[in-house]
């Protein structure tokens, strides 16, 4: 199967300019996590902050009632996540997927929440998870897509599986020489083909800020995609940097 589409990169991290304000241009989105926030704010306050700062996209890691109610009629585009531990049940039971979509998607869309994407799991193929979701992630993705179609939302809301960068490996040490990890390559090709068939995006979580913090030799050109160094001059450090590993930052806003 040929990769016959240009990978759609979405949900860019919030970029801060030198003065602390939002840097203009591009797509601005943030992750809004409820479980790991050290100083949780009320959902209405968070939404007010998002709007004041021109943030037009937000990713929720679960279907939390408070944030979803606060996002009603704001126009803010939402990627709504479901947790990895839900994948086996949704993979095995189409009715469970239909009920989840009805309760967590349809009801909020009808109430004015601009849900545009469903993140089916979060980095379920991390090597540190020891294959726990290799058998369930793709069937869950298919069932959630089928449930969205049954709800009449198949063209409006797209499914995706957010991947960690460790789903990728490079035989040459350069990004251009990369491919999916051998143990998940066939699975990923099937997933990518399914996403393409449904006009859905491939989503990859990368954390250059962690790499820059942990490794003073991290190639800044790779971190921000705007440098001029040749790949050969930075290839060695690129293959050794922490963003290729499984470290994940707090999801608190």
Residues with Cβ within 8 Å of 120's Cβ and at least 6 positions away in sequence, in order, are: 82, 87, 90, 137, 140, 141, 144, 159, 160, 161
Q: Which residues of 108-146 are buried (b: 16+ CB within 10 A; e: fewer)?
A: bbeeebbbbbbbbbbbbbbeeeeebbeebbbbbbbbbbb
Spot the catalytic one: 64, 123, 127, 193. 123
How far, in Å, CA of 123 to CA of 203, rounded? Answer: 10
Question: Could you tell me which of 81, 85, 55, 53 has the C-alpha nearest to residue 68?
Answer: 81
Question: Could you tell me which of 9, 3, 6, 30 has the C-alpha nearest to residue 160?
Answer: 9
Q: Output the six-digit token pair for 205.
A: 């979580």
The neighbouring-strand residues paired with 115 are 78
Where would I find the H helices in the chain? Answer: 43-52, 65-70, 87-92, 94-101, 107-110, 137-150, 185-197, 208-214, 220-224, 231-239
The count of C-alpha atoms lying within 13 angstroms of the C-alpha of 15, restricted to the half-sphere facing its C-beta, is 13
| 48 labelled catalytic | no
Q: Output the six-digit token pair for 57.
A: 């996209």
Would you name the residues annotated as active-site residues? 123
């Amino acid at each position: 199967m040929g990769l016959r589409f240009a990978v759609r990169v979405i949900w860019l991290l919030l970029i801060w300019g030198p003065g602390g304000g939002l840097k203009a241009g591009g797509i601005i989105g943030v992750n809004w996590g409820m479980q790991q926030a050290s100083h949780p704010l009320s959902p209405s306050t968070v939404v007010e902050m998002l709007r004041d700062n021109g943030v037009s996209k937000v990713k929720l890691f679960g279907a939390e009632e408070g944030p979803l109610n606060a996002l009603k009629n704001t126009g803010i585009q939402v990627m709504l996540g479901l947790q990895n531990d839900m994948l086996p049940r949704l993979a095995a039971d189409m009715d469970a997927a239909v009920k989840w979509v009805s309760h967590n998607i349809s009801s909020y869309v009808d109430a004015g929440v601009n849900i545009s994407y469903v993140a089916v799991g979060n980095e379920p193929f991390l090597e540190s998870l020891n294959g726990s979701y290799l058998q369930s992630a793709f069937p869950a993705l298919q069932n959630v897509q089928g449930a969205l179609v049954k709800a009449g939302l198949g063209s409006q809301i797209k499914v995706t599986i957010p991947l960690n960068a460790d789903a990728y490996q490079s035989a040459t040490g350069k990004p251009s020489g990369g491919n999916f990890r051998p143990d998940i390559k066939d699975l990923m090709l099937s997933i990518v083909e399914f996403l393409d068939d449904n006009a859905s995006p491939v989503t990859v979580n990368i954390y250059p800020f962690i790499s820059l913090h942990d490794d003073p030799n991290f190639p800044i050109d790779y971190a921000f995609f705007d440098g001029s160094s040749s790949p050969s001059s930075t290839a060695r450090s690129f293959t050794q940097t922490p963003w290729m590993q499984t470290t994940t930052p707090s999801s608190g806003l």
